[in-house]
Amino acid sequence: MADTARRPENRYGNRPTMKDVAARAGVGLKTVSRVVNGEPGVTPETERRVQEAIDALGFRRNDSARVLRKGSTASIGLVLEDLADPFYGPLSRAVEEIARAHGALLINGSSAEDPDREQELVLALCARRVDGLVIIPAGDDHRYLEPELKAGVATVFVDRPAGQIDADVVLSDSFGGARDGVAHLIAHGHRRIGFIGDMPRIHTSAERLRGYRAAMEDAGIPIEDAWMSLGVTDPERVRRAAEEMLTGPSPVTAVFAGNNRVTVTVVRVLAEHRRPVALVGFDDFELADLLQPGVTVVAQDAAQLGRTAAERLFRQLDGTLITPERIELPTRLITRGSGELPPAG
């Protein structure tokens, strides 16, 4: 009775353990372990008996115990902004594929662009002793990671750099991409060019804004405040921002959209607008080529970002990689029509 009371309440109707298998097969505990792990030194006859017991009982090794004993979980964590964002799909998948190639599982979570939630998630993953972390940061202070890094948790940041700590990071060249995109519009004769982007506290947003400014400055075009919308992110307000730029006292003839969600909303606004307005968007998206006109974009390779990050992560784990680096992947301008429209109005 005291015996059963001591048993912790657990959800698995007391699954069979190696001990149970051993008892049933009439062998020792360690022999079962050997069979389960394919270690040598077991006679075929013994192995058969053990295998039979395993099948009969429906035994499945408890990896929690294994992890506890061995110290490595063979799993990595991925923290991103929103699993549902089409930009992150290919990225996650790429990370997963690399993890799989290294025999690791992927645990992931969405931070919803909330720094507290990011930290909560990251620490939960650390408590589970993931071997490594791929983080698309929401916050800009990652000092909370210091004990983890010191303890040897491999970490790679993607898409945006870590804040206040020195860590590996894999980025797209947001600055260069935006500058090229805006320069492309300028080359097609535009001078009054609008920029709609996310909050400048997000690194990529800030870099893209910087690219926009650089391109304008290179062309000697002074920027009017009314041409810029920053930190506006939900569709309704992006719509309003776009409309204001198009109808203000000094209306823009072209728009540079800072990310795929903004681009999509702007496409909708422009579709309702009588005067043709040129558009270049950061991030490619499906069907961009089928719209009328096709949408010219600065494309970044999300899968490649994920792949690169995951590969670096496993090289950290191998010990091949020591010094944190910053890797910038190039972007690619894809012209489809919307960015080549001449200024109108």
Binding site for its own copies (CB under 8 A): 8-13, 15, 58, 60-65, 67-73, 75, 82-86, 88-90, 92-93, 96, 100, 105-110, 123-129, 131, 146-148, 150-153, 264, 267-268, 271, 285-287, 290-292, 303, 317
CA angle 178/184/186 to nearest 5° reads 105
Identify which of residues 128 and 237 has a Cβ nearer to its own copies in the complex: 128
Among residues 33, 51, 304, 335, the one that binds DNA under rule CB under 7 A: 33
Q: DSSP readout, 82-130?
A: -TTSTTHHHHHHHHHHHHHHTT-EEEEEE-TT-HHHHHHHHHHHHHTT-
Whose tokens are 């506290």? That residue is 201
- Minimum gap (Å) between residue 118 Cβ and DNA: 23
> Should residue 48 be labelled a site residue for DNA when binding is judged by CB under 7 A?
no
Among residues 23, 51, 66, 321, the one that binds DNA under rule CB under 7 A: 66
Whose tokens are 């594929």? That residue is 97
**Is 201 in a helix, a strand, or coil?**
coil
How many residues comprise the chain? 345
Structural element, H or E, at residue 280: strand 278-282
Identify which of residues 54 and 215 has a Cβ nearer to its own copies in the complex: 54
Q: Are 195 and 252 in contact (CB under 8 A)?
A: no
Among residues 28, 147, 189, 231, the one that binds DNA under rule CB under 7 A: 28
Identify which of residues 50 and 215 has a Cβ nearer to its own copies in the complex: 50
State the binding partner of 229 from its own copies, DNA, none, CB within 5 to 8 A by kind: none
Identify which of residues 44 and 151 has a Cβ nearer to its own copies in the complex: 151
Helices 174-187 + 203-218 axis angle, to 10: 40
Q: What are phi and psi of 196, to 5 degrees?
A: -120, 120
Identify which of residues 66 and 191 has a Cβ nearer to its own copies in the complex: 66
Binding site for DNA (CB under 7 A): 2, 5-8, 14-15, 17-19, 22, 26-31, 33-34, 36-37, 40-43, 45-46, 59, 61-62, 65-66, 68-71
